[in-house]
Amino acid sequence: MKTLNTLALAVTLAFSSTGFAADAAKDFTQINSKIDAMVTKSFPAGEGQDLSRLKQDETQKTCSVRANQPTGAEASEIIAREKQNIKYPASGNLMGDWKNGEKLTSSGFGMRIGVIAPDPVAKQKGGNGGNCYACHAVSPKEVAAGNMGPSLTGYGKYRGTSAEVVRYTYEKIYNAQAFVACSNMPRIGHNGILTAEQVADITAYLLSPESPVNQ
């Protein structure tokens, strides 16, 4: 991946006048300790703050200093580590309740903090949403869908519901980086946004033949 990047950089420099494109190989390893120190200084402790969220795990660190273009070896390391991080519902059932999955898919609520507008405590009891529409088209009925991820409309129609498909879908939603290192998709189960059971509900929403996704 790194060599490909270098090539891309050479091409960019040769043909573009901006020379400052996002696909140029970036590496912040040298200045990373300064970036960390700056972050520590810029997010003061206080009521309603959770500074632990600024602490990076190994995967976040690698993806940051490489600007999401890890070397081949780093990518393999991330995928292996994130695969191990996947947890499953105690029942072992990876296809949950698609109706609950539908609600979780469209809700973007949860985990916002700070002094100005933290998520209201009363609403927090309803739990977090999966925020899928921020990045994906899902149900054909919902038009307000983002495009950062591929369309999931009709997701189950052509894939069927074989054990492999169910397992892949569950694991992908639980921890996107178990398949794509430095993916822009949040590690929704691993980061504690949704529980294993909730991820299984969304899996059912994407795959069930009765789900609106597949009509």
Partner 1 sequence: MPLKPSTSHAKEKEAIALGEGLFWRRHGSMDFACASCHAADGQRIRLQPLVNAYNKEDITKTMTNWPTYRVSHNLVRNNEHRMWDCNWQMRLPDIEYGSDGAIALIAFLTKQAENGKLNIPSMKR
Q: Which of 149, 165, 167, 197 binds ligand HEC (CB under 6 A)?
A: 149
Site for partner 1 in 132-191 (CB under 8 A): 133-135, 144-148, 184, 186-187, 191
Helices marked H in the chain: 2-15, 32-42, 58-65, 72-84, 98-106, 121-124, 155-159, 163-174, 196-207
Distance CA 207, CA 165 (A): 9
Residue 116 touches which member of partner 1, ligand HEC, none, C-beta under 5-8 Å by kind: partner 1
Decide: is 192 part of the binding site for ligand HEC (CB under 6 A): no
Selection from 4, 150, 134 nearest residue 72 by Cα: 4
Query: 131: phi > 0 → left, psi -120 to 50 → alpha, else beta; which?
Result: left
Does 99 help bind partner 1 (rule: CB under 8 A)? no
DSSP letters, 60-77, are: HHHHHHTTT---HHHHHH
Q: Contact at 8 Å (CB) between 72 and 99? A: no
Q: Binding mask 40-79 vs partner 1 (x if CB under 8 A, - otherwise)?
A: -xxxx-x-xxxx-xxxx---x--xxx-xx-----------
Using CA of residue 211, residue 104, residue 131, residue 61, what is the dihedral sign? negative
Nearer to partner 1, 114 or 160 (CB): 114
Binding-site size for ligand HEC (CB under 6 A) equals 22
Please state, in angstroms and rounded to a whole number, the distance separating the CA atoms of residues 204 and 97. Answer: 6
Which chain residues interact with partner 1 by CB under 8 A?
18, 20-22, 26, 28, 31-32, 34-35, 38-39, 41-44, 46, 48-51, 53-56, 60, 63-65, 67-68, 111-117, 131, 133-135, 144-148, 184, 186-187, 191-193
Which chain residues interact with ligand HEC by CB under 6 A?
105, 130-132, 134-136, 148-150, 152, 169, 172-173, 176, 180, 183-186, 188, 202
